[in-house]
Amino acid sequence: MKTLAKLLTAAALSTALLAGPAFAAGKAKNAQDIDFSFEGPFGTFDRAQLQRGFQVYKEVCSACHSADLLHYRNLGESGGPEFSEAQVKAIAAEYEIQDGPNEDGEMFERPGRPSDKFKAPFTNANEARAANGGAYPPDMSLITKAREGFHYPWYVSPFIKMWTGNGGPEYVHAVLTGYSDPPEKEAANAPEGKSYNAYFAAGPWISMAPPLSEDGVEYSDGTKASVDQQAKDVAAFLAWAAEPKLEERKSLGLQVMIYLIILALLMYLVKLKLWRDVEH
Amino acid sequence: MSGHSTYEPKNPVAKWFDKQLPILSMSHDFLVFPTPKNLNYLWTFGGILSMCLVIQILTGIVLAMHYTPHVDMAFNSVEHIMRDVNYGWLIRYIHQNGASMFFIAVYIHILRGMYYGSYKSPREILWILGVIILLLMMATAFMGYVLPWGQMSFWGAKVITNLFSAIPFVGDWVVTLLWGGFTVDNPTLNRFFSLHYLMPFMIAGVVALHIWALHIPGSNNPTGVSVKSGQDTVPFHPYITMKDLFAAIVFLILFAFFVFYKPNYLGHSINFEVADALKTPEHIVPEWYFLPFYAILRAIPDKLGGVLAMGGAIVVLFFLPWLDTSRVRSAKFRPIFRQFFWLFVINVFILGVVGANPAEGWWIIVGQFSTAYYFLHFLVIIPLVGMIENPKPLPASISESVLASQPKGEPAAQPAE
Ligand code: HEM
């Protein structure tokens, strides 16, 4: 299946090249395909990778990007990074969460609990914009489902995407690793405070300075924290954040499929037997 | 259902009950209902559609228990269903993909009718009721798609409701009524939710009429030849029930494939972003099942003209029974019509592709051609072919056609499904 997908991709890419500039104009570049562990009908998340990805999110991205749909408790739930209960409590407790009002009618701060939502870096959109040169750092909870890394011509797109998906996690990886010097003719009109990134959907100029650096985080499992590795890890983490029931869905799906196929066979036999004496 | 039932309950209590409310004899008549024995698997889609409606209503009721129809909360309440409600992701994915499955089934069902001439006398009312169901389904699905309040929900609602402003004189008033204000906003979401909950039950009502109207003449069949004697039929139960059940399970396999393995394949990525009235998406595209009609809408450069053409594309179906001049029902015996039928199907596919692409360059021309051909098919080709075509000789009866096809092994060629 992987090879088939690769073949289709190759075919599509070559036609895309032939189809030429009309198609490429105004579109972000195609993200590099990554063999994530959670792809395919049996794919599951790699726990260690999700934990590393969370670390990157926490230490880097969460300075600017919220993830409003996540709660700290999710980090310990099955099918996710599966931190231990104690770890989840410790992570939550690192944050000061506003609560209240108390008996005196005052709001107060207290350490976070697993049931709290991920604390957002800014209290409102204007504050977020003001801190980021006018650009809004979007919420990351659903980013891998809301963006597409792969763009193919219309006549192959539905077929390829049946295998490869939309490339949302690949998009995140591509944006994080895809900074480059602008082409000669674009360099002249570079907007103030923006970087060139050919993979950014609303690009090519992006208001996010390259957030990752070589060994910018220190992985406790000994994995080398290259920029590429961090980008992959955080992309995987965000894929889980967007689809936390992925593992439950696929494993239930397998059971349902087997059940339905056996049932269909049995029903077919019943139907055959019943209709055997009827000429039809 | 026509005439008095011959059924007499044996049990005295049942007898007493049935005399006052003849549900028992009605159900009995349903079960023994004589059905042509040569039906192929295309006839199983009626049952599949009923199953789809039940699935949508059941999953919908559960969703409605957890959903909040407010612009500030709708999007997150759907995500709450996906994340925190037990098996909420399953219910939601079934409902979401169920809409697509419903339309796959209904389009096959309609094309079956067009191929075998099931809309022709004595089944015109049955056909018209079907077209009404299609319209109600479209309205229901459109309003349902607005509920999660993503970017495409919002902008789709905006584009489609705006169309009504093209209606002369009352247009603006209608649009304000749909919106409940001066733009798509919270009142719009609230009324769409209310109507989205109501309409499936209206569909259920029309389905009941549809089935009633079916039980007067009985089912058509692949030969299009009317039932002549008891030889031609089998009782509905167990013969048709078991066959329908088998087909429904095969259909569920496809359904489950999407729900469990490709739940978002048929949707739009951009709908995972919450609605933003200040940020117009680059391409506003409806769900796949509306694409051919969307292409027809955009083929006409004039707004009112586009709306009329899109509406006309469905309204023309109401008149199909009288546009068709052929004496013969089934395309099996209509060599010329059969080819035009497939051209029509291909043309609808082309319209779908056009609808999915931006209205620019070649797409405009292809869209206009295909739109013209769509209407040409109904308004010119169907009446003309019926008049000039020389149908092949019809079998004397269903039984005879079955016997004639036996020596060759399988029953006479059935279109692939
Ligand atoms: C003819 C049957 C029906 C069709 C074709 C239909 C179609 C749809 C569609 C296309 C959506 C948007 C899916 C999404 O993106 O989430 C939707 C959402 C929804 N529908 Fe229905 N529906 C039907 C029946 C019902 C019924 C009977 C109810 C309630 C009793 C219901 C309740 C809901 C709710 C609460 C949502 C929003 C939640 C969500 O987006 O998942 N639906 N429907």
Residue A192 is predicted with a pLDDT of 85
Measured in whole angstroms, how far is the alpha carbon of residue A70 from the centre of its chain? 13
pLDDT over 70 for what percent of chain B?
A: 96
Residue B406 is predicted with a pLDDT of 65
User: Does A176 map to a domain?
Assistant: yes
Ligand 1 contact via B207 beta carbon (within 6 Å): no
Identify the active-site residue in B244, B324, B399, B401.
Answer: B244
Are A122 and A128 in contact, with CB atoms under 8 Å apart?
A: yes
User: Does A223 map to a domain?
Assistant: yes
* One domain, residues A190 and A269: no
User: Does A127 map to a domain?
Assistant: no
Q: What is the pLDDT along chain A (280 residues), one digit of tens a residue?
A: 445 555 555 554 444 444 333 333 347 899 999 999 999 999 999 999 999 999 999 999 999 999 999 999 999 999 999 999 999 999 999 999 999 899 999 999 999 999 999 999 999 999 999 999 899 999 999 999 999 999 999 999 999 999 899 999 999 999 999 999 988 888 888 888 899 999 999 979 999 999 999 999 999 999 999 999 999 999 999 999 999 999 999 999 999 999 999 999 999 999 999 999 887 7
Are A61 and A211 in contact, with CB atoms under 8 Å apart?
A: yes
Are B204 and B57 in contact, with CB atoms under 8 Å apart?
A: yes
Catalytic residue list contains B229 = no
Q: Which residues contact B389 (CB under 8 A, 6 or more apart)?
A: B326, B334, B335, B336, B337
Residue B171 is predicted with a pLDDT of 93
Both tokens of B7, joined, read 């059924």
B256: nearest CB among A148, A248, A256: A256
Q: Which residues contact A140 (CB under 8 A, 6 or more apart)?
A: A57, A61, A65, A66, A67, A238, A241
* One domain, residues A174 and A265: no
Domain that holds residue A271: 252-280
pLDDT band at B344 (very low <50, low <70, confident <90, very high): very high
Residue B405 is predicted with a pLDDT of 76
CA of B180 to the centre of ligand 1 (A): 21
* One domain, residues A217 and A266: no
Residue B119 is predicted with a pLDDT of 97
Q: Tell me which residue has tokens 């410790």.
A: A90
Which of the listed residues B57, B91, B196, B273 should we mutate to test ligand 1's pocket, taking the one with most ligand atoms within 8 A of CB?
A: B196
- The SS3 assignment for B302 reads coil
Beta bridge partners of A110: A97
Residue A6 is predicted with a pLDDT of 53
pLDDT band at B411 (very low <50, low <70, confident <90, very high): very low
Give the total number of structural domains in chain A. 2
Question: CA–CA separation, A274 vs A280, rounded Å?
Answer: 12
Helix H or strand E encompassing B234: strand B233-235
Selection from A65, A218, A245 nearest residue A141 by Cα? A65
Catalytic residue list contains B244 = yes
Question: CA–CA separation, A182 vs A188, rounded Å?
Answer: 9
Category of A85 on φ-ψ map: left (φ > 0), alpha (ψ -120 to 50) or beta: alpha
Whether a cis peptide bond, with omega within 30° of 0, leads into B36 is no
* One domain, residues A57 and A178: yes
pLDDT band at B7 (very low <50, low <70, confident <90, very high): confident
Category of B221 on φ-ψ map: left (φ > 0), alpha (ψ -120 to 50) or beta: beta
Q: Tell me how many degrees the CA angle B74-B80-B86 measures, rounded to the nearest 5.
A: 135
Query: Domain containing A185 — which CATH number?
Result: 1.10.760.10
B411 compared with B294, residue with greater pLDDT = B294
CB contact under 8 A, B411 and A248: no
Catalytic residue list contains B400 = no
B242: nearest CB among A252, A274, A279: A274
pLDDT at B409 over 70: no
Question: CA–CA separation, B28 vs B36, rounded Å?
Answer: 18
* One domain, residues A158 and A272: no
Q: What 3 state SS string does chain A have?
A: CHHHHHHHHHHHHHHHHHHCHHHHCCCCCCCCCCCCCCCCCCCCCCHHHHHHHHHHHHHCHHHCCCCCCCEHHHHHCCCCCCCCHHHHHHHHHCCEEEECCCCCCCCEEEECCCCCECCCCCCCHHHHHHHCCCCCCCCCCCHHHHCCCCCCCCCCHHHHHHHHCCCHHHHHHHHHHCECCCCHHHHCCCCCCCEEECCCCCCCEECCCCCCCCCCCCCCCCCCCCHHHHHHHHHHHHHHHHCCCHHHHHHHHHHHHHHHHHHHHHHHHHHHHHHCCCCC
Distances (CA, A) of A122 to A49, A67, A127, B174: 27, 11, 6, 42
* One domain, residues A256 and A275: yes
CA of B59 to the centre of ligand 1 (A): 8
* One domain, residues A154 and A228: yes
Q: Which residues contact A245 (CB under 8 A, 6 or more apart)?
A: A79, B82, B83, B89
Question: CA–CA separation, B28 vs B5, rounded Å?
Answer: 9
Catalytic residue list contains B210 = no
* One domain, residues A276 and A162: no
| Chain B interface mutation, best of A267, A272, A273, A278, highest count of B Cβ atoms under 10 Å | A267
**What is the average per-residue pLDDT within B240-249?**
96
Residue B358 is predicted with a pLDDT of 92
- pTM here is 0.91
* One domain, residues A60 and A159: yes
Are B145 and B96 in contact, with CB atoms under 8 Å apart?
A: no
Catalytic residue list contains B18 = no
> B280-339: per-residue pLDDT in tens?
998 999 999 999 999 999 999 999 999 999 999 999 999 999 999 999 999 999 999 999
Distances (CA, A) of B40 to A115, B228, B412, B417: 56, 19, 10, 10
> B251-284: per-residue pLDDT in tens?
999 999 999 999 999 999 999 999 999 999 989 9
CA dihedral A181, A186, A188, A190 (to 10 degrees): -70
Distances (CA, A) of A228 to A216, A218, B7: 12, 14, 76
User: Does A82 map to a domain?
Assistant: no
Question: CA–CA separation, B301 vs A148, rounded Å?
Answer: 31
Q: Which amino acid would we find at residue A233?
A: D
Q: How many CB atoms lie within 10 A of CB B320?
A: 19
User: Does A117 map to a domain?
Assistant: no
User: Does A201 map to a domain?
Assistant: yes
> B140-154: per-residue pLDDT in tens?
999 999 999 999 999
* One domain, residues A47 and A153: yes
Question: CA–CA separation, B296 vs B310, rounded Å?
Answer: 6
CB contact under 8 A, B411 and A256: no
Residue A196 is predicted with a pLDDT of 94
Contacts of A279 in chain B (CB under 8 A): 37, 399, 402-403, 406
Q: Which residues contact B376 (CB under 8 A, 6 or more apart)?
A: none
* One domain, residues A166 and A268: no
Question: CA–CA separation, B96 vs A230, rounded Å?
Answer: 34
Residue B407 is predicted with a pLDDT of 55
Ligand 1 contact via B61 beta carbon (within 6 Å): yes
User: Does A86 map to a domain?
Assistant: no
**What is the average per-residue pLDDT within B363-389?**
97
Selection from A113, A110, A115 nearest residue A99 by Cα? A110
Question: CA–CA separation, B200 vs B403, rounded Å?
Answer: 43
pLDDT at B88 over 60: yes
How high is the ipTM of this complex?
0.90
Q: To the nearest whole angstrom, how far is the Cα of B78 from the nearest Cα of chain A?
A: 11
User: Does A107 map to a domain?
Assistant: no
Residue A14 is predicted with a pLDDT of 46
**What is the average per-residue pLDDT within B10-37?**
92
B96 compared with A20, residue with greater pLDDT = B96
Question: CA–CA separation, A164 vs A152, rounded Å?
Answer: 12
Phi (first) and psi of residue B406, to 5 degrees: -60, -50
Q: Which residues contact B213 (CB under 8 A, 6 or more apart)?
A: B123, B125, B126, B129
Selection from B139, B134, B53 nearest residue B101 by Cα? B53
* One domain, residues A189 and A261: no
Burial (CB count within 10 angstroms: exposed 0-12, middle 13-18, buried 19+), residue B127: buried
Selection from B336, B356, B209 nearest residue B268 by Cα? B356
Q: Tell me how many degrees the CA angle A145-A146-A149 measures, rounded to the nearest 5.
A: 80
